[in-house]
Amino acid sequence: MLKRVLVLDDNQDILDVVQETLSYEKFEVKSTADSNKVMSLVKEFEPDLIILDYRVAGTNGGEVCQQIKSHPEFNNIPVIIFSAYINHQDEILAYGCDAIINKPFDLAELIDKVNDLIY
């Protein structure tokens, strides 16, 4: 069975690149641009890893990460936060994420961090 990755980003180009890259690496990927749908997708899709963009419309990725990490059923799911705000790493880590990937990101770094956290 393929490992599942849920991705939140409000930039469709980034969603497309991440989906294509992770699918090529043999992951099952579900993506959304709506931060308000993440918790219901976590329940429905049961991902092995979640990638959240830090800056999205609505609830930011850090707040979504906090919701996931404070939920007794999902708090063990690794979460990566994408961020273009490299000067705010301590602030982002305070949300409880397992890793940060700085934007713009290298696809090899994405694959390495996903593999490190999922296996």
The amino acid at residue 5 is: V
Considering the entire predicted model, what is its pTM? Answer: 0.96
Domains of the chain and CATH, by start: 3-118 (3.40.50.2300)
Specify whether the CB–CB gap between 57 and 14 falls below 8 A: no
Specify whether the CB–CB gap between 60 and 34 falls below 8 A: no
Per-residue pLDDT, averaged over 2-17, amounts to 96
Q: In whole angstroms, what is the distance from residue 114 CA to residue 34 CA? A: 22
Chain mean pLDDT for the chain: 95
**Strand (E) positions, 1-119?**
3-8, 27-32, 49-53, 79-83, 99-102
Share of residues in the chain with pLDDT > 90 (%)? 91
pLDDT tier, 58 (very low <50, low <70, confident <90, very high otherwise): confident
Per mean pLDDT, which range of 46-50, 75-79, 83-87, 93-97 is the poorest? 83-87
